[in-house]
Each structure stands twice: as C-alpha cells, then as structure tokens.
Structure 1
Amino acid sequence: MTESAPRSSLGSRIRDLRRERGFRTQKDLADAIEGGNVSLATIENIESGRKTNIDVSQLLNIARALRVPPIYLLAPIRAPDAVIDIPNLSSAFDGMTAIEFDAWLGGVEAGAYRATTVEERDATAEIQALRTLESLRSEITRFEAMLELQSDEDDQRFARSTKDRLAEAKREADRIEALLGSAGWKLS
C-alpha cells in the first residue's frame, strides 16, 4: 500500500477555501489569478503538499483570488486557539496561537500577542497610529460632506456640532501626522 504525501496545512486551507469560494477545480483558481505567478501546477503542488514554501507574492495572489485576508491561508484562524502550523519557523513562534499570530502579523496593539521588545512595541504603535490616521481622514471627509449638504434652514446647532467635530478630527490627524513624521514616516 502506497502512502500519499501528507497534505500541508497551507495546502489544506487553500483547497478548503477554494471549494468554499466556488472554485470547483484547481484550474478554476489558477485562471482567477490574472497576470500572477501562480500556475495550475503550483496550485496542484501546494494543495498536494509537494510544495510547502511559497513566495509572498504567490500567497497574496492566491488569497486575493479566494477573496480572503492572507491570514486565512497562513494560520488556522478559524480555530483561534490552535497553534500555528507553518513549517520552518524559528522557535520564537513555538506555542503561538492563530489569534496571537494574527495580532502580531497585523500589528494590532490590543491583540492577543504582546510585544516583547521596545522596538516591536514602537513598530506596533506606529502601525496603530497609521490606522487611526486613515480612520480620521475618512471622518474628516464625511464631516466635510455633511457640511456641504446642509442647507441654510438646517439646525444651526447641528452645523456647529459638525464643525466642532471636524475641527477636532483635523487637530488629531495633524497630531498623529506629526508623531509619525518624527518617527520617519513619509506621509502625503
């Protein structure tokens, strides 16, 4: 009796997600990756476990085609307390759960993973500041649109409140931009 090669965890996740997302065959998935570096043979080899190491660009192309964040391929995220199962990682990852890995990978400040060095903490804080800045920029755009849509007959109290909130969002965005700029970030 011949044993087939064990399927890699990455290959199993890709296969399962491929099927869930309606790609009946590996060829269907390969065809959905336009202009990328993922061939049918690559997908066959990943899913069968013959290929366990893939390029970052291949990982991202597959995740994009499957319409999932890359963490769905990298870790058993649907079992958040499961230990990550990526081959060839350093011992620093030993025992790290899927949810801790996701927090670390995403730079989530209040995630399950806690930074162990000042540099890692600073990097995580900078990423969180960038996310906050992007959120503030969206809020500023929304407040500006609200002010433009208000007519002269609108409640002036509402207009003052919107103007105050817009001014506060702009002050906070300026503060975060200055902090990130002092840390070496180049923001537009």
Structure 2
Amino acid sequence: MTQTDWPSKVTARVADALRARRKELGLSAQDVTDACAALGYPIPRTVIANLESGRRASVDVAELLVLAEVLGVPPITMLFPLGTAPTIEVLPGREVSMWDAVAWVTGESREEAMKTPTQTVLNMFREHGILVSVAMLSRELGEEKRREAALARDPEHRAKFLDMVAELDRIHARDIQSLRNWRARMRELEVVPPALPDEFAYLESSETAQ
C-alpha cells in the first residue's frame, strides 16, 4: 500500500461503519442528515451518499464526532472496528493489532514511548472515574438498605438493615474522602478535575471555598 492509499482506507472504514450502523438502525441517509443538523452540525445528504459510495476521499474530525453521536457509537469504533480483523494499518506502513490501535488513540498503549505527561493525566482521570463510580455505588447501596429498613415491619429485621446502613455510610464516607484526596492531588499537579455528578456537586463547592 502506498502512502496515498492509507488516508482513503481510513475514510473507507468510517464509511463502512456509517453504512452498517445506519442500516442496523433503519435510518435513511436523509435521517442521518437531519439528525446531524439537529446537533448543530449539518452534514448534507450528498456527503453521506458520497462517503458510503467511496466518492468522498476524506472525512474530518468534526464529521466523525457528529456521525458517531447520531449513530450511537464511540467514534473510535468507526476508525478501528474491533472484532473485524486481527490487525490494522494504524499509520502508513505500520500494521498493529486492532486493540493496540485503539489503545494508542485512548492513551492506553503499552509502549514505553507512550508513557508521557499526557498519558499520566489520562491515567489520573481514569482513576478519578473509578473513585466516582465506587462512591456512587456505596451511596446507592446505603440508600437501598435505608429504604428496606423503613419498610421492614419486624424490629429485628429493621435493626439489621440499620446496622448495614451505618456500615455503608462509613464506607461511603471513606469513598468520598478518597475522592476528595484524589481531586486535591490533581489540583496540586495543576490538573483541573472533571465536573462531578449532581450527587457529589457539594464537593466542588467545598473545593471552591478552600
């Protein structure tokens, strides 16, 4: 494959993903066009048709993002279709496993050269996401047991549920503290933490007050 062939191959993968997903959803090219316009970035029906037919040799990043949203798929899967081939030409003349291609784009590459400050920031955000999920889980479990305690008619059952609530509240408090500490660590490194779910918005207020 020549260097000039590679960009057209990338576009072809996006076009194939567009066509397959559009048909899977039962959408016409006009439906896709209308949905793109509703998102605020119109993509004419002729562009959709030319992409799918191969008459259009390129697709820009904005188009890729909007099309992925309309089709309800992660943008990365339109570039690197996992499960369709063992390897892919990620760059001109560079064939790698399909998963390594995805990992390169998402910053999860195992390559030593990819261990950069940017990857460190990505890892911090991943850890933040895990801590938020853990705190959300302990919160939801506590609320569930609290509801069960309120509905329990037997005093012994109610007492057991309340004991579980107390333990889950302690766990949740630890989870929240871990999240606070991690966000503080991010700020120390001059990394702006992501917005929190509404349930934990009070943490952002306390951070601002500090």
State the TM-score, normalized to the length of structure 2: 0.68
Deviation at 1:50, TM superposition (A): 2.4
Q: Provide runs of 4+ in structure 1 moved above 6 Å.
A: none
| CA gap 1:52/1:182 in 2 versus in 1, 3 angstroms | farther
Give the whole-Å Cα distance in 2 for the aligned partners of 1:118 and 1:182: 23
Give the whole-Å Cα distance in 1 for the aligned partners of 2:79 and 2:110: 20
Name the structure 2 match of 1:65. Answer: 70
Gaps (5+ residues) in structure 2?
1-7, 151-157, 196-210
Give 2:168's match in structure 1, choosing from 162, 166, 169. Answer: 162
Higher fraction of helix: 2
| Larger radius of gyration between Structure 1 and Structure 2 | 2
Give 1:15's match in structure 2, choosing from 7, 19, 40. Answer: 19
| CA gap 1:123/1:80 in 2 versus in 1, 3 angstroms | farther
Between the aligned residues of both structures, percent identity stands at 21
Name the structure 1 match of 2:121. Answer: 126
What SS does the corresponding residue of 1:8 show, helix, strand or coil? helix
User: Are the equivalent residues in 1 in contact too, given 2:76–2:102 (CA < 8 A)?
Assistant: yes
Give the whole-Å Cα distance in 1 for the aligned partners of 2:186 and 2:111: 19
| CA gap 1:115/1:154 in 2 versus in 1, 3 angstroms | farther
**Aligned runs of 1:41-52 on 2, under 5 Å?**
41-52=46-57
Higher fraction of strand: 2
Is 1:114 aligned to residue 120 of structure 2?
Answer: no
Give 2:31's match in structure 1, choosing from 23, 28, 31. Answer: 28
Deviation at 1:68, TM superposition (A): 0.9
What SS does the corresponding residue of 1:17 show, helix, strand or coil? helix
Worse-superposed segment, 29-38 or 56-65:
29-38
Give the whole-Å Cα distance in 1 for the aligned partners of 2:89 and 2:185: 34
Root-mean-square deviation (Å): 2.9
Amino acid at match of 1:30: T
Name the structure 2 match of 1:135. Answer: 130
What SS does the corresponding residue of 1:96 show, helix, strand or coil? strand
What SS does the corresponding residue of 1:83 show, helix, strand or coil? strand
User: Are the equivalent residues in 1 in contact too, given 2:41–2:66 (CA < 8 A)?
Assistant: yes
Gaps (5+ residues) in structure 1?
none
Name the structure 1 match of 2:200. Answer: none
Number of aligned positions between the proteins: 173
